[in-house]
Chains A and B, each alone.
Chain A
Amino acid sequence: MAKVSVRFFARYAELAGCDSSAVTVSTPATVSDVIARVREVFPGTAAMPTRPLAALNRRQVKLDTSVTEGDEVALLPPLSGG
């Protein structure tokens, strides 16, 4: 098992009802597995798209990227900077 910290931003923080938390997933695990666990723990996040943008340790990654104990997964609504 791996404990992964999770951060929510903008509209996703409203859906989750918090800015940050942590979930535990069975290893080996990917970002997708973390998101699946998040949907169980935070029912409001069911309204997120099936494949949301995600960052692992502050870099955007594909959802099949592996995660390990202590990693941080950030769920990012569609970017709208500038």
Chain B
Amino acid sequence: MMMHLTRHRIEVADLLTEVQGPERGGTSVFLGTVRNDADITGIDYSAYEAMALEEIGRILADALERWPEARVTLQHRLGLIPAGEASIAIAAAAPHREQAFAACRYTIEEVKKRLPVWKKELRGDGSEQWVEAHDHR
């Protein structure tokens, strides 16, 4: 069973094992990776973990309701993630590629809107800054 939150490097193969099967001919994978913008050396991710786990369950259930033949899973990494490493991976497999792409896209967009996760950027000069780019108010 997939651990949806981890403090270790994300292994994409583990997500593929969870979703792939002979009846699903298309698999789409999304990876979100920490960028080295503006001297950023890494991002420290924190979460309201109990709520995040419940919300991930709801997001995956919503995806399944929309694409009943798809299998979708995700893993979000927490803690300090160096630039260049993945903070999130989503894998969606479905009988045909359209459903796989759509389910994968839907899942990352819902994660962005709904998951109680926060990032603090760490810069090469030692400074730190909370990211508050996605303010929905």
Give me the interface of A with B, judged by CB distance under 8 Å. 7, 9-11, 49, 51-53, 55, 58-60, 74, 76-82
Contacts and interface: CB of A to CB of B under 8 A. Distances in A.
B51 interface: yes
Nearest to A11: B130
Contacts of A78: 132-137
B51 A74 contact: yes
26 contacts: A9-B116, A10-B120, A11-B118, A11-B132, A51-B137, A58-B54, A60-B114, A74-B51, A74-B116, A76-B116, A77-B130, A78-B133, A78-B135, A79-B112, A79-B116, A80-B119, A80-B131, A80-B133, A81-B76, A81-B115, A81-B116, A81-B118, A82-B76, A82-B108, A82-B111, A82-B115
B132 A77 contact: yes
Nearest to B119: A80
A80 B54 contact: no
A58 B88 CA distance: 21
B48 A7 contact: yes
A75 to B, nearest CB: 10
Contact of A80 (B51, B52, B134): B134
Interface residues of B, number: 31
B136 A80 contact: no
A67 B118 CA distance: 25
Nearest to B32: A82
A82 B43 CA distance: 11
B48 A82 contact: no
B117 interface: yes
A74 B49 CA distance: 12
Interface string B107-128: 0100111111111100000000
Nearest to A58: B51
Nearest to B58: A59
Contacts of A10: 46, 118, 120, 130
A79 B113 contact: yes
